[in-house]
Each structure stands twice: as C-alpha cells, then as structure tokens.
Amino acid sequence: MIRTADLLKRPTVSLPETATIREVALELAKSRVGLAVLTAKDNPRRPVAVVSERDVLRAVADRRDLDGPAMAIANKPITVLDTDPVWVAAEKMRQHNIRHVVVVNKDGELVGVLSIRDLCFERAILLELAAAEAPTTP
C-alpha cells in the first residue's frame, strides 16, 4: 500500500501565521508550489491555515492590501495522516474540490503537502487509486 508520506518529495512552504499576503506570494513564487501552510507563532510544526495561489490571485483581483495579513485570505487546513493510504488524499481533494492536502502526523504536526499532481504522474499510484475501495458519494 502506498501511503501519503511516501509521496512527499518537495520541501513544504510554511510561514508563521503572522505573514503578510506579499510574503506568502513571494515564497510560493520562489518555490514554485501552489500551497503555503501558515503555522502557529509558538510552534512552527502546528499548521493553523493554508493559502493557495488561487487565494493570492483573488486577493490581487479584489485589490486587497498585499501587506495585510495572509490569515485574512487563508482557510482552515484540510489534512490527511502521513499513514493514510493515497486514496484518502485523492478522496479529500475530490470531496472538498481542492488540489492540495496537508499531511500531518498523529500528533497533528506538519509533515508536508501533497498536490494533485503528486497523485497523477506515477503509474503505481494511479493503479492503486483505481483499485482502492474508497467510499464514494453519489
């Protein structure tokens, strides 16, 4: 069985929850990833929110102050466990219409971020997803 933690290859973009929208945008651009995790001020391993490139795009379109807090455009993280099979990540992306899930350990600490691209480009994963008996909603 392939687990979510097995697919984590790229370094995670994480910033403290006090970061500005501009700081998040700069990190996303520099790292060429689509989701940043905002972490607790007193604990960089505890994810408190996420900001995706779409949130930044919307902030620009809405003429928000980019030096304002990223928390204002962030969402509460949808997570999977590092021990979950990959289909759980795929199912959460489908259910919530998102392209990223935050991977945490049993203590809720940040382990990484999986993107939908990580699920699409390896034959072994596609085969596993096809075979998985994930509960589906109509």
Residues binding ligand AMP (CB under 6 A): 34-35, 50-52, 54-55, 75, 77-78, 98-102
At its nearest, how many Å lie between ligand AMP and the CB of residue 117? 11
CA distance 110 to 45: 5
At its nearest, how many Å lie between ligand AMP and the CB of residue 43? 19
CA distance 67 to 103: 28
| Residue 31 or 124 with smaller CB distance to ligand AMP | 31
In angstroms, the Cα distances linking 98 to 42, 53, 59, 109, 129 are 28, 12, 18, 21, 17
At its nearest, how many Å lie between ligand AMP and the CB of residue 98? 4
